[in-house]
Amino acid sequence: MRKISLVEQFLYVDTFPLKQSLISLEKIKFNAMLNYWGDHRQTNNKNSFLYDYYNLTQDKNITWILDYVKDKHDLETKRNLINPQSRLLIQGKDESINYHNHIDEYDLINSPSISGIYTVSCGENPVNFKVKYGAGRKQEFEHLIPLKENQLIVFNSELFHCFTKNENKKHIINICFTFNYNSL
């Protein structure tokens, strides 16, 4: 018998090799907070999941992180990622981010294939990244990953995910990114 995978749902968790890089987390934090304080939201529509996301001024530090994710994924899966997009997700004290995914149901062709989170900073009290998944008879399962500084989480863009309440005084800063495959 030969197995044919019809749909794959996955979650990769990794740590970025900061010590072997020239990336400055302090510069990324500064960039992030400038966009947050300037209220550079992706949209002003409070009904859109993008309302919680902020524009991200591109710099070499962010480009290097995206290059690392792309190159590592390409090597491990033998599939090429293209069209990187990035934005900020910043949670203030007592804020949580509701369930959402990154698929535009009205534009499936241009919706991303792969999404990811890179945690730039987080507080001492854990904030969790929660993913809802399921297929067939196994529906509505959840998987929790506590956010850690310098952690990468990469997953299918269609997976519904959320962030639990930030009970820290400090802001939680995440870079969120999406990619497409070079062919579907």
CATH code: domain of residue 33? 2.60.120.620
How many other C-beta atoms are found inside a 10 Å radius of the C-beta of residue 69?
Answer: 22
> According to the model, what pLDDT value does residue 157 have?
95
Range of the domain at 119: 11-181
Structural domain total, the chain: 1
What confidence category does residue 183 fall into, taking pLDDT thresholds of 50, 70 and 90?
low
User: In this structure, is residue 177 part of a structural domain?
Assistant: yes
User: In this structure, is residue 117 part of a structural domain?
Assistant: yes
pLDDT digits (tens, 9 = 90+) for 61-97: 999 999 999 999 999 988 899 989 999 999 999 999 9
The pTM (predicted TM-score) of the whole model is: 0.91
pLDDT digits (tens, 9 = 90+) for 109-136: 889 999 999 999 999 999 999 999 887 7
**Of the candidates 108, 94, 160, 106, the residue with the CA atom closest to the CA atom of residue 130:** 160
User: In this structure, is residue 5 part of a structural domain?
Assistant: no
User: In this structure, is residue 3 part of a structural domain?
Assistant: no
Question: Please, which residues bridge with residue 12 across strands?
Answer: 154
Query: Which of 9-13, 41-45, 136-140 is the least confident region?
Result: 136-140
User: In this structure, is residue 154 part of a structural domain?
Assistant: yes
User: In this structure, is residue 134 part of a structural domain?
Assistant: yes
d(Cα 115, Cα 131) in Å, to the nearest integer?
12
User: In this structure, is residue 76 part of a structural domain?
Assistant: yes
